[in-house]
Amino acid sequence: MNYDVIVIGGGPGGYSAALKAAKNGLRTLLIEKDKLGGVCLNEGCIPTKTLLYSAKIFDSIKSGSKYGVTAEGLVFDHAKVLKRKDKTVKILTAGIRASLEKAGVVCLAANATLTPDGVLADGARFTAEHIILAAGSSAMLPNISGALNALTSREVLSLAEVPQSLAVVGGGVVGLELASYFNSIGTQVTVVEMLGKIGGSLDAELAEILMKNYQKKGMTFVLNARVTEIRQGSLVYEQAGESAEILCDKVLMSVGRTPNVADLGLAETGIRFSGKGIETNEFCQTNVQGIYAIGDVNGKSMLAHTAYREADACVNHILGIKDRVDYGLIPSVIYTNPEAAWVGAPEDSPHAGETVKIPMRYSGRYLAENEGGDGLCKIVLGADKQILGVHLLGGCASEIIYGAGMLIANQTKAEDIEKIVFPHPTVSEILREALL
């Protein structure tokens, strides 16, 4: 059967590409072997944020006395939180399916393999002028003795019993968010990180403040450490040439994700790829005419919102609309409490002229809502005072960072901020305070 567009993978990139293609009159087939919504909806973004919101409420009530509110008999019902998480996922999954059906996308639940003559799925062959690969990624399991006994983000989100102690291998975004949840609900959490800081590409100063916040909450961090073995009830690591052991009920492996490039038929069709993902250009094209790769499978930026942006650029290219993805404008967020968010150039960028730094307490709204908060706003400026990067730590950071990205995209200069009216009082005013 012939289509205009075949999309392999129904995650954020895949389903949004299929929707956009169908809405623009292209006959579209979406093939997904598992669940619509992919990792983000089923075992990533949405489930973790649902759990983290419950934990945030719990934290707020526990610290209520600082705001003149005292509660007694406080109980955290982990089982009920999991049920709400499942309900949220179910509602959103149903919404995606309904949107696809309404747009006229044909959905097929099957494994799909590329061949020189089209796509094989469910025992049938399908052809299309344009094929979009959006096969996603899987949790990486490093070559460590006993690694198969560790939990990944998939299993840990469905733990029926709250562990008394948890060792988290990897202090990146996913590891920190899950560590935050279990720390909030009473688990003794230890984060083991190979690097000398947490948070991946998060600004080093902000990462240090975030780590100190969680140390105050009882979380332990072991930096510059390499895990060598995972045992039943413990984890072994090396640090500065010495071996040490952490006793724990569970181990969460969170050291990144690997693109799903196997079993797609890439080699058979001549598509260039490696363990880091499928090679693509700024339009998400592979080296084979008519075949695109978006989302985690191309390995460029494993974030759901990157996949959405790539889906738009990819389908626009198919439609003949000029569009390209600027990966330098992709924001990053860590949904801990406090949140961290950043976009654009880091402080040590070769293009940076100066960095403006201001405590988040300069925002009246932040001060009113964050007793004792130590959030920080850092804005990287070029030699001509153009905004190149914004780095935030504090409440509402995730809701502000898109606006910061727009400032960078529009080549806004520091003095231009006075022409922008920020509603008062809002935490977003910190950008104005910092620059003016």
Active site residue 424: yes
How far, CA to CA in Å, does 131 sit from each of 4, 235, 267, 292, 339? Answer: 9, 44, 16, 6, 38
Tokens of 43: 């075992």
Segments of 281-412 assigned E as strands: 291-293, 332-334, 340-344, 352-359, 376-382, 387-393
Tokens of 320: 């003949």
Close Cβ partners of 172 (under 8 Å, ≥ 6 residues apart)? 198, 199, 200, 254, 255, 256
Q: How far apart are CA 124 and CA 135, in angstroms?
A: 19
Which residue type, as a one-letter code, is found at position 295?
Answer: G
Torsion of CA 113, 114, 118, 121, to 10 degrees: 10
Q: How far apart are CA 243 and CA 252, in angstroms?
A: 20
Output the CA torsion sign for 77, 78, 84, 87.
Answer: negative
Q: How far apart are CA 244 and CA 239, in angstroms?
A: 8
Element containing residue 120 per DSSP (H, E):
strand 118-121
For 138, half-sphere exposure in the C-beta direction (CA atoms, 13 angstrom radius) is 8
Angle between helices 78-103 and 45-62 (to 10 degrees): 140
Catalytically annotated residue among 78, 317, 391, 424: 424
Segments of 122-265 assigned E as strands: 124-133, 137-139, 165-169, 188-192, 220-222, 225-231, 234-239, 242-247, 250-253, 257-259
Q: Which of 326, 329, 178, 304 is nearest to 252 (CA)?
A: 178
Which residues are designated catalytic? 424
